[in-house]
Structure 1
Amino acid sequence: MASERVDIYMPKLRGKSVAVVGNATSLVGDTHLVDTLIENNISVAKVFAPEHGFRGDADAGATIDDDIDTKTGLPILSLYGANKKPSKAALNGVDTIVFDIQDVGVRFYTYLSTLHYVMEAAAENDIQVIVLDRPNPNGGYIDGPVLEPSVKSFVGLHPVPLVYGMTIGEYAKMINGEGWLAGGIQANLTVVPIANYARDTAYVLPIKPSPNLPTMNAVYLYPSLALFEGTVVSIGRGTPFPFEIVGHPQYPKQNFSFRPEPSFGARNPKLNGALCFGYDLRNTAATMPTPNATINLEWLLKFYAAAPNKDTFFLERNFFDKLAGNEDLRDQIKSGLNEAAIRQSWQLDLDAFKAVRAKYLIYPPSN
């Protein structure tokens, strides 16, 4: 991990007042980055916490409040909820921001939006940003619709595919280089690269990146199953297997069923208490996707086809569109378009994105 390359980034932090954007994944070996910096006499002024909080123990979508870190006494300022962008007052006295969060390579994983707003605030306040790069477990392929401006939101700010095949450090370079920050400003950005890394090298995350991605199988299935979040179908929140199972009470009875119940990371799960029928996908994506991999639309198409009331299958219309990245996918599904035709509709935009992406790649493939 770049976080372990202390010889590169520690000298840049000496004599600086540092803010850390991090969460439970911000580790240097087994030690949290914040603790490592303090042990090396780096002046850490505060911590900014993204979705799920600094320690990674909050529900998806839950408002994160400002807090004090009990171990260090540092103030923790929320970047999820009302204030998604660091304010000028919050950055007062800060010289450098260190961003170290494990990404999973999917457009609607909100840490990308946190990165965007951190870079934007830093650019506006003449503060350096250092991104400690980490492997992308879904970095070996590119797929899905490219986001259109009409559905831009915190679950998708940039014109990139659903799966974009870049590390978070490469992505930061693209945000800067493509002028995506407000007014086209650019952050004073340094990316600390991962040593001896190839983008299609399998990487097992040492810690779950968020409460509802507890296994590598869930991480690999996340690009496909998260689209169900915009529908009436459950993807297993409120069970031990979020993003590894999928079902609904009105789906034709299968051999597999589950019942969502309130639990850590899902205090009010969709279809709470209802017996859901569907698919057990716990053994379907056990290895890192290859360059020829695609997101799976089959499950989504099957559930829509079996829905007794198709008018209520999609939840609030805009949310599914925000996840999909366009206003077409929902209509394509409703019109009965097959998977091949849906994929073909993405191709020109995917080709254009690949040309943009190529400018910012740091790491080669393994062969």
Structure 2
Amino acid sequence: DRPDPITGAIVEGPVLDPAINAFTAYLRVPLRHGMTPGELALYHARAKGLKLNPRIIRMSGWKRDMWYEQTGLAWVAPSPNLRTVDAAVLYPGMGCFEASNLSVGRGTAMPFEWLGAPWLDSAALLRELQSGAHPGVEFMAADLTPDGDVYAGQQCRGVKLVVKDRNIFRPLEIFLRLFYALRKTQPSAFVPECRGLERMTGVRGFCALQETSSADTMIEYFRNGAEEFRRARSPFLLY
């Protein structure tokens, strides 16, 4: 087995809607499931009704509330753009913006720790964000020019996210706060890709739902889904 690098103690997001089925969205778990690969194998076998009895070689010394640095293991990027543990912490939320016309920092020195675009009014976005409380994270203006991927070679105004306290920071809730702030400050310029957001969040009709619901209502929906999954995963936890 292997550790969950962003702890196995925190669960975020609703369980994948059964109507959504794609290469990257096929198992009914939340975006941040808080499970190890071995635990996921056990859950997957049961959820899919597979006639399997996976044998998991358990880790020794790992606890659910451990962040990856606390394991003493060297960080090896699981993807070229997940270069730090902080990027992995931010990824469940920031990755959702790949289903939009924003850059999430691919082609820069801080992928998934920044978002921006040539059209972004970062000052207006920061003002909107600063009107509310966002536990565990700070925002700052940062202009970058990606050398690849979205907006390659174009100067982008943007916002960098600095995680101050991982234990209270919730990346999916920050995604929702950012999403609503963007829709409020630049409703014409910000263009979400709704089908992609369904796959990213696991929420069928995400765009339509957010148009009729407040950010607080959506966050409560995400929290309720996470609590439902926390109970469902319990029989499969090994640690």
Instruction: Note whether the superposition's TM-score is higher than 0.5.
Output: yes
Give the aligned CA root-mean-square deviation in angstroms: 2.1
Instruction: State, as a whole percentage, how many aligned pairs show the same letter.
Output: 27
1:260 CA drift (Å): 1.3
Partner of 1:257: 143
1:280 CA drift (Å): 1.4
Spell out the pairing of 1:53-72 with structure 2 (5 A cutoff). none
1:187 CA drift (Å): 2.7
Match among 201, 211, 236 for residue 334 of structure 1: 211
Count of matched residue pairs: 215
Spell out the pairing of 1:279-290 with structure 2 (5 A cutoff). 279-281=159-161, 283-284=162-163, 289-290=166-167
Partner of 1:349: 225
1:242 aligns to 2:111 (yes or no): yes
Match among 32, 56, 60 for residue 195 of structure 1: 60
CA radius of gyration, larger in:
1
Aligned in 2, Cα 1:152/1:271: closer, same or farther, shift over 3 Å? same
Q: Helix, strand or coil: the match of 1:302?
A: helix
Aligned in 2, Cα 1:347/1:244: closer, same or farther, shift over 3 Å? closer
1:246 CA drift (Å): 0.6
Aligned in 2, Cα 1:253/1:359: closer, same or farther, shift over 3 Å? closer
Distance in 2, matches of 1:292 and 1:213, equals: 18
Unaligned regions of 5+ residues in structure 1, if any? 1-132, 263-268
Partner of 2:97: 228
- 1:216-273 superposed Cα distances (whole Å, 9 cap, x missing partner): 11011001101101011111011111111111221114442111112xxxxxx01222
Contact kept in structure 1, 2:92 and 2:171, CA below 8 Å? no
Partner of 1:134: 2
TM-score if structure 1 supplies the norm length?
A: 0.54
Partner of 1:174: 43
**Letter of the aligned partner of 1:280 in structure 2?**
K
| 4+ aligned runs moved over 6 Å, structure 1 | none
TM-score if structure 2 supplies the norm length?
A: 0.81
1:320 aligns to 2:188 (yes or no): no
Contact kept in structure 2, 1:259 and 1:272, CA below 8 Å? yes
Q: In proportion to residue count, which structure has more strand?
A: 1
1:163 CA drift (Å): 0.8
